[in-house]
């Protein structure tokens, strides 16, 4: 059978309408939210499909529920899967909903918060291997020995079809869609969205987006090679978008995406980080790295204009709180709203207070202060201090520095 024929059969066998019924009211119809900041860059309306607000925090619950429905009685022996986090959480939720046991194989370096979230849903977690691929091999072996049914993270038509319900909801909210931008990890979401658009007769452009640090589809689908990727062996953990860090395309999803997507883009780590911050600032959405890659592609300005609305799928929001705080601090520094200063003060009562009074008078906010008495040149009865300050922006920062310099402080910026 030819590749074209097999793809046609896969598309014909997919039933997004039935999949939506299989969700059984467990999922929520996530909102589409207008984003003016991205619209300015895109040159037309942009809406965000906020799957980060889905139960379990990502779109993955859709595919898991549809797979469980398709398994029927075969699910009674339990479920087994492999995941970096979001898919495992979704399968655990689906297993709890139908009252069956669930085993989730996760890479050893899976985020602690995602492991804990899976365990809270009653699943048994096994930390194995250095990647999702290695964990998946072990999960498949468990299923082959009998007992639990395997729920593949993306390379399964029932899972793919379940993810396609995202597109059906989008078309209800934005019937005149001109473009849909989706993240691509294993390719299940992009394949499901593409199938749903094709079956609905909608000619919207479908753009897939991968993290450049781990983009196996890029070369296979003919995307231009990036100099920064040359000779690079992708590996999970090399990107903050760990949810899309898949080394190899799927057996089903690769031919489907060859047929269905119009274009594949890759985005850098800096672009992903900026998108996470923009979504938090502009849309008040908390997105993980993988959930923000589609927004990062629009934010990059490389997509170009389109005649009509663009929908951006924000696919997940299960971000580690420490990483989110780091990205927000990084953004403030880049925008000139956070500055670190080293200076020296007299080592006597009131010496530090004089400096801090000047900072307060300049209306800067002191974030942290550290005494530095070693490994820096200091005069007798003098101590070094390192200040981290928040300001209103570059102009205000310059005013604060001018105030301190005028008072006689020698400043070093770090």
Whether 306 shows a pLDDT value over 90: the answer reads: yes
Tens digits of residue pLDDT in 126-142: 999 888 889 999 999 99
Contacts of 9 (CB under 8 A, 6+ apart): 1
Whether 224 shows a pLDDT value over 50: the answer reads: no
Cα 64 off chain centre by = 19
Max CA-CA distance within the chain?
Answer: 85
Whether 12 shows a pLDDT value over 80: the answer reads: yes
Q: 60-154 maps to which CATH number?
A: 3.40.50.1100
CATH superfamily of 336-413: ACT domain (3.30.70.260)
| Of the candidates 41, 57, 47, the residue with the CA atom closest to the CA atom of residue 271 | 41
Strand 338-346 versus strand 382-390 pairing type? antiparallel
Tokens of 150: 């395997």
Q: Check residue 170 and give its pLDDT.
A: 97
228 class by beta-carbon count within 10 Å (0-12 exposed, 13-18 middle, 19+ buried): exposed
Whether 80 shows a pLDDT value over 70: the answer reads: yes
Averaged pLDDT, 313-339: 87
Averaged pLDDT, 233-242: 64
Tokens of 67: 């797979």
Q: Whole-number mean pLDDT of the chain?
A: 89
Q: Do 206 and 180 touch, CB atoms closer than 8 A? A: yes
Beta strand ranges found along 25-78 (DSSP E): 32-34, 46-50
Neighbouring C-alpha atoms within 13 Å toward the C-beta of 66 = 30
SS3 179: strand
Secondary structure (DSSP) of 352-411: HHHHHHHHHHTTPEEEEEEEE-SSS---TTEEEEEEEEE-SSHHHHHHHHHHHHHTT---
**Cα separation of the two ends of the chain:** 63
From residue 311, how far is each of 38, 293, 296 by CA, in Å?
11, 13, 13
Q: 3-58+158-329 maps to which CATH number?
A: 3.40.50.1100
Q: How far apart are CA 128 and CA 62, in angstroms?
A: 26
At 222, is the pLDDT very low, low, confident or very high (cuts 50, 70, 90)? low
Q: Which of 20-29, 226-235, 325-334 has the highest mean pLDDT?
A: 20-29
Q: How far apart are CA 168 and CA 194, in angstroms?
A: 11
Q: Do 3-58+158-329 and 60-154 have matching folds? A: yes
Q: How far apart are CA 38 and CA 132, in angstroms?
A: 32
The H or E element that residue 351 is part of is helix 351-361
Cα 165 off chain centre by = 20
| Of the candidates 367, 368, 354, the residue with the CA atom closest to the CA atom of residue 408 | 354
| Of the candidates 397, 373, 379, 383, the residue with the CA atom closest to the CA atom of residue 347 | 383
Domain borders along the chain are: 3-58+158-329, 60-154, 336-413
Q: In what order do the strands lie in the sheet with 32-34?
A: 32-34, 46-50, 310-314, 179-183, 205-211, 263-267
């Amino acid at each position: 059978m030819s590749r074209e024929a097999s793809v046609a059969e896969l598309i014909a066998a997919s039933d997004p309408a039935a999949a939506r019924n299989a969700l059984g009211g467990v999922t929520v119809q996530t909102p589409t939210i207008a984003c003016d900041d991205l619209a300015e860059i895109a040159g037309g309306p942009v809406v965000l499909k906020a799957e980060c607000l889905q139960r379990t925090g990502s779109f993955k619950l859709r595919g898991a529920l549809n797979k469980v429905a398709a398994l029927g009685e075969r699910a009674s022996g339990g479920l087994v899967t492999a995941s970096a986090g979001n898919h495992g959480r979704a399968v655990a939720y689906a297993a709890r909903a139908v009252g069956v046991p669930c085993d989730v194989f996760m890479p050893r370096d899976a985020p602690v918060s995602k492991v804990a979230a899976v365990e809270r849903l009653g699943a048994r977690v096994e930390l194995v291997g250095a990647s999702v691929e290695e964990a998946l091999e072990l999960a498949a072996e468990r299923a082959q020995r009998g007992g639990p049914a395997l729920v593949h993270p993306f390379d399964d038509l029932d899972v793919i079809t379940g993810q396609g319900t995202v597109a059906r909801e989008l078309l209800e909210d934005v019937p005149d869609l001109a473009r849909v931008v989706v993240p691509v990890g294993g390719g299940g979401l992009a394949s499901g969205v593409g199938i749903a658009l094709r079956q609905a007769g909608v000619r919207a452009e479908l753009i897939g987006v991968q993290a450049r640090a781990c983009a196996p589809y890029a070369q296979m689908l003919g995307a231009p090679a990036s100099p920064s990727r040359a000779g690079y062996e992708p590996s999970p953990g090399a990107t903050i978008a760990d949810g899309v860090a898949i080394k190899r395309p799927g057996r089903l999803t690769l031919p489907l995406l060859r047929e269905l997507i119009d274009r594949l883009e890759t985005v850098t780590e800096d672009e992903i980080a900026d998108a996470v911050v923009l979504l938090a600032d502009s849309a008040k959405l908390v997105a993980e790295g993988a959930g923000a890659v589609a927004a990062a592609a629009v934010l990059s300005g490389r997509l170009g204009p389109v005649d009509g609305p663009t929908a951006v799928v924000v696919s997940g929001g299960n971000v580690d709180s420490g990483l989110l705080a780091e990205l927000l601090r990084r953004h403030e520094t880049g925008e000139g709203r956070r500055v670190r200063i080293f200076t020296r003060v007299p080592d006597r009562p009131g010496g530090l207070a004089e400096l801090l009074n000047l900072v307060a008078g300049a209306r800067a906010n002191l974030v942290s202060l550290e005494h530095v008495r070693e490994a820096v040149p200091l005069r007798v009865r003098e101590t070094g201090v390192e200040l981290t300050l928040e300001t209103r922006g570059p102009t205000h920062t310059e005013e604060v520095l001018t105030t301190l310099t005028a008072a006689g402080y020698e400043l070093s910026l770090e």
